[in-house]
Homo-oligomer: A and B are copies of this chain.
Amino acid sequence: MKIYDSQIAPNPRRVRIFLAEKGIKVPYEPVDLMKKENLTPKFLAINPLGRVPVLELDDGTHIAESVAICRYFEETQPKPPLMGTDAKDKAIVEMWQRRMELEVFTNVGGAFRHSFPPFADRVKQIPAWAEQCREAAVKNLEWLDTVLADRPFIAGQSYTIADITAFCAIDFAKMIKIQIDAAKQKNLARWYQAVSSRPSAKA
């Protein structure tokens, strides 16, 4: 078993943090995104979408998509639970994971891909779209601050994959100068301090 990884992209970090929280060690094989190793025929045979991370199982099966990889390890090693406990809790965690992904991560990613100069040869950049994504990301951080007013973590009382997704998105957002407004967003700043202090944050 191994995981095709990159230290510079936010999605592989989601998996590394998830595994660190579980105490699971898997060998990582670096894929050099700057050299476009992810777009070689060899890698496209592993993931036709040309993206990392990808989990390679011992039987040769390739599992792409960060959350799908996390799901594999949640099922094989349920403790500590990071994707919920019973039916209701699993659904609540999934709701928040998706909200963090679709409302925060996706907008940060859209703003990045459509404005970061080195990406101009990978995507036809649309500045108006970058700006719309940026505005949405900033607004959604304000919303997230209100969400965190009555709870320590995004999905409730426990640290979950929703926190990992939000944390990786918010850290990555620094690349495009979107940051938590600590003076105004006190709940979000308190949450960020807590999740970034966990040993897994270094993964």
Asked if A143 is at the interface (CB within 8 A of a chain B CB), the reply is: yes
Contact B67 A94 (CB under 8 A): yes
Q: Does A48 contact B (CB under 8 A)?
A: yes
Q: Please tell me the number of chain A residues within 8 Å of chain B, measured between CB atoms.
A: 32
Rounded to whole angstroms, the CA-CA distance of A128 and B126 in the bound complex is 7
Oligomer: number of copies: 2
Q: In chain B, what residue has the closest Cβ to A123?
A: B132
A177 at the interface (CB under 8 A from B): no
Chain B residues with Cβ below 8 Å from A68 are 91-92, 94-95, 98
**Distance from A11 Cβ to chain B, minimum over Cβ atoms (Å):** 11
Asked if A36 is at the interface of the complex by the 8 Å CB criterion, the answer is no
Q: Which residues of B contact A65 (CB under 8 A)?
A: 94-95, 98-99
10 A-B pairs with least C-beta separation: A75-B87, A72-B91, A68-B95, A68-B94, A129-B129, A65-B98, A65-B95, A63-B91, A76-B87, A68-B91
In the assembled complex, 9 residue pairs joining A and B whose CB atoms fall closer than 8 Å, in A order, are A48-B143, A49-B103, A63-B92, A75-B90, A75-B91, A76-B87, A126-B126, A128-B129, A129-B132
